[in-house]
A and B are shown apart, each in its own frame.
Chain A
C-alpha cells in the first residue's frame, strides 16, 4: 500500500469507503470542486471507492433543497455515492425523513447540533432518533467537545438499535478524545470517524493504541476539505496494513451493508 501511495497512483487494491462527506457550496470558502464532479475527481485520483454525503445546503441553508441534491447525486452515481439525510429541528420535519430515505443508498441521518445551537440530546431531535432506532440506521453526529460526546452517549443509551458515528472528536482536544474513547469502549452502538484534516502525525496511532481499529471509520469531510490529507495520515501511519484496511473501508462495509 505504501509503495503504491508514493507513486501517487490510485489505491485500487484497497476498499475505501469515506463515511463523512459533504456535497455543495458554502460561503465560507470558494465554491469550486464541491459538487459531484469535483468530489469524483479526488476520489478517482486516490482510489476512493465510495463516499457517504450530506448536504452543505441542508446544513447551512435550505434543508429540503439540500437533501434533494444529495438524493439526486446518489441516484446519478449509485456505485459511488451514498447519502445521509440532514435534519434541522427548527423546520417542519414530519416528512423530511420519509421523503428522502427513498433510495437504497440513503444510509442514515446527519445531525449537526452545534450548527443549530441546540443540544444533541434535545427532545426536538427525537423524531430523527426514533426513526433511526426503528430501522437500525447509522446517525452521524458532529461532536467536537467532551460535552457533545457525552450527549451523544445519552442518545446511544436511550436508542439502542441505532448506530451513532461520532465525527471529529477522536482528534480534537484531549478531553473530547478521552470521552470518545470511553464511549467507544462502553457502547456497542457507538463508532467514530477519522475526520479532522488539520490534525498531526501520531494522533491516530495514539487512539488505536487505546481502542483498536474495529470501531474507527475513515472520514474526510470532503468537499469542505481535501480527502488526500486524511488518506495520507492513515496510509503512512505506523499502523499495520490490516489495521489500515479496516479503517479505510472494511469497518464501514460491516457497519453499513
Chain B
C-alpha cells in the first residue's frame, strides 16, 4: 500500500469558503483519513492573509496536537523589520522543529531577487531548508535566477503542471535543485510524461487542499502508468528525503 505525504496543504480559515469545502479541524481530519493521506506538510492561512508570526504559531500548535501534520512556516525577507532576521528565523525553526518554509512574494509584495531575499535564501541554503512557492507567486525568469544563485537551496514549485510544461521542463532540466509538486498535474498522463523525461525523483505529491482535491490528487498517483517504486518516491519518499537533509 502506498503511503502519502502531502507537500501542499493550507490549513485554517479563509475569507471565502467554497461550498462544501473543508474548514474545521475535524473536516480536514475526516478528508485526509478518507483519502488515506497519513502525513501532511501544512502552512496556516493566517500566515498568508494577516500575520506571518501568528499564523506560524498556529500551525506549530497543530503540529504538536496532531501527529499527521508537519508545520511549514511562511516567511519573508526582513527588509522592513516586520519579521525575524534570518539567523533568528533559523533558531526559532530549530526550536519548533520546522523544516521547510514557503514564500508568497506576489501576495506579500516583495521581490525574490538577491537585493531583497539574498540574506534569507543564503541562510536557507546553508541549512538545506527547502523553499516552497506557488507558481502563481513568482515569475519563471525570477525563479530561474533564484535557482541558479542558490544551487544548494531546494526549491519546490507548487501548483504548476497544467499548461506549464513549456515553462517547467527547461527549468527542471537545467536546475537540479528544483522540485515540482503534483496537485495540478491534471493534463492527461502528465505524470508519465514528466517521469519519462526526468525520472520520479523531482516530483512531490501534493493536494492543494482546501482549494484542490485530495481525492483527485491521490488518484493521479495511484493510477499513473509508472512503476510502484516511482509511485512511492512521488507519494512520500522524495519529500521525506528533502526534509531529512535539513541540517538544523
Contact = CB atoms under 8 A, between A and B. Distances in A.
A110 interface: no
B36 interface: yes
Interface string B178-219: 000000111111101100000000000000011111111111
A6 interface: yes
A236 B188 contact: no
B189 A226 contact: yes
B65 interface: no
Given A177-B19, A233-B213, A39 B188 contact: yes
Interface stretch (B89-97, B115-123, B130-138, B159-167): B159-167
B220 interface: yes
Contacts of B209: 200-201
A200 B21 contact: yes
Contacts of B222: 5-8, 228, 232
Of the listed residues A38, A177, A235, A236, the one surrounded by the most CB atoms of chain B closer than 10 A to its CB is: A236
Contact of B215 (A33, A227, A233): A233
A33 B19 CA distance: 33
Interface string A182-207: 00000000000000011111111111
A230 interface: yes
Task: Name the prevailing secondary structure of the B interface residues.
Answer: loop
Interface in B144-162: 162
Given A201-B214, A203-B18, A229-B216, A236 B186 contact: no
How many chain A residues sit at the interface, stated as a range, is: 35 or more
B31 interface: yes
Contact of A235 (B21, B163, B212, B219): B219
B118 to A, nearest CB: 35
Contacts of B184: 198
A238 B34 contact: yes
Contacts of B210: 200-201
Contact of A202 (B2, B20, B166, B223): B20
How many chain B residues sit at the interface, stated as a range, is: 35 or more
Given A203-B21, A206-B20, A197 B188 contact: no
A28 interface: yes
Contact of A232 (B18, B165, B215, B231): B215
Contacts of B36: 6
Interface in A9-47: 28-30, 32-34, 38-39, 41-42, 45-46
A111 interface: no
A226 B185 contact: yes
Interface stretch (A76-84, A217-225, A245-253): A217-225
B215 A201 contact: yes
Contacts of B163: 28-29
A199 B165 contact: no
B52 interface: no
A189 B190 CA distance: 36
Given A33-B187, A41-B225, A224-B188, 18 more contacts: A6-B222, A28-B163, A30-B165, A39-B188, A41-B189, A201-B35, A201-B210, A201-B214, A202-B18, A202-B31, A203-B20, A204-B20, A223-B187, A225-B162, A225-B186, A228-B222, A229-B216, A237-B215
6 contacts: A32-B193, A200-B211, A201-B210, A202-B19, A203-B20, A228-B220
